Amino acid sequence: MDALRRHTLLIIILGSLVISLAMGLRHGFGLFLEPMSSDLGWGREVFAFALALQNLIWGLSQPFSGALADRFGAARIVVVGGLLYALGLAMMGLSDSALGMSMSAGLLIGLGLSGTTFSVILGAVGRAVPPEKRSLAMGIVSAAGSFGQFAMLPGTLGLLEWLGWSAALLVMGGLAALMVPLGGMLRDRPSPRLASDLSLGAALDEAAGHRGFWLLCMGFFVCGFQVVFIGVHLPGYLVDSGIAVQVGSTVLALVGLFNILGTYTAGWLGGFLSKPRLLTWLYLIRGMVITAFLVVPLSPASAYLFGIAMGLLWLSTVPLTNGIVASVFGVRHLSMLGGIVFLFHQLGSFMGVWLGGYFYDLNGDYDLVWRLAILLSVAAAALHWFIDEVPVKRQASAGAEA
């Protein structure tokens, strides 16, 4: 039992460190939008499209990296993901064309993120932790990603101001390479196969026929749209309004700091309250916070308050959403099914970050996308209200693996 507890603790610690690095590095990408676009003579859509492509590639590859992690364990997937992430950052620092930006920031980093973030890591945690503690453990690891966002953002800004955007990205590539040895130590054990386990195909069929699974997917689309639009375009939005770039950096750091509390609390509450109901309220409150931010006169103080409020709601969806997948379908194919749900999150991310750049270049402002983010909050709240997290009922021999 002591050995089992040590194994579980090691999974949580190493998974937390990997997610802290992966999400912390990614959280600062919005700071590079203005300097790269200005120095290279791009409109904002070029940078925005590359980040949109990153989110799309991340989402499209996530079910496959998740399925591989379910089959072979998370360690190998994290190692490969860390290598791709580091290479993508290095190439991004050397990019001088739209194609180079799309290949580095888009393709390589997108693939790297799919192997080093939530679906793979939370799948490993879900397999290692007892069901009654699963939601809390997922909240702890998700909160670690939030801490990485808070802790690494000031450093990213410091590197940007000290070295310029190109050298700063090369240094960040070196930091990303630390995920390789951390992944190598992540001794995740795939769930032992039982006679009652579903095959991969049967698990996909079961999820495809479950109404709640699709409602969860559509709701997570909204999460991706909102958080990536805000994370990438908020610094530029504030600069356009005459507010110093340091304020935007501080706001994103506040998002990361308060997301630690919000994500941990969401995971804790999900252990004894209805996770779908919690998600309904979370999306409604998000919509109210965005509305208040746009209505109240903009100032550094209002921006800081927005960062605090959004931080409490930022990744709180992650342990609740993955917890619902685990509760309904079990943990045997958790990384793969969680990856499919996350694909919809990334489709939303693609739309949020790209439409932000597109409509900015078209209209000179972000007003339309802010309004769309509010309407989507209401839609997501309604979708989650109709989700039931009761485990599916299976025949003992149905879909059993040979």
Domain boundaries, the chain: 1-188, 199-389
Residue type, 350: F
Give which of 333, 364, 370 is closest to 213, Cα–Cα: 333
Q: What does the pLDDT average to over 41-64?
A: 83
Q: Is the pLDDT of residue 402 over 50?
A: no
Please tell me the predicted confidence (pLDDT) of residue 168: 93
Q: Give the 3-state secondary structure of residue 134.
A: helix
- Which one is predicted more confidently, 315 or 324? 324
CATH architecture label of 1-188: Up-down Bundle (1.20)
Distance between CA 108 and CA 94 in Å, rounded?
Answer: 14
The pTM assigned to this predicted structure is: 0.77
68, pLDDT greater than 80: yes
Phi and psi (nearest 5°) for 271?
-75, -20
Residue 268: its pLDDT value, please? Answer: 87
The pLDDT of 322-335, averaged and rounded, is 82
Q: Homologous superfamily of 199-389 in CATH?
A: MFS general substrate transporter like domains (1.20.1250.20)
CA 56/CA 68 separation, integer angstroms: 19
Is the pLDDT at 314 greater than 70, yes or no? Answer: yes
Residue 398 has pLDDT above 50, yes or no: no
395: Cα within 13 Å, side-chain hemisphere: 5
Q: Is the pLDDT of residue 400 over 50?
A: no
Q: Which is nearest to 141 in space by CA: 160, 157, 121, 164?
A: 121
Dump pLDDT digits (tens) for 88-114: 999 999 988 889 999 999 999 999 999
Least confident of 49-58, 169-178, 363-372: 49-58
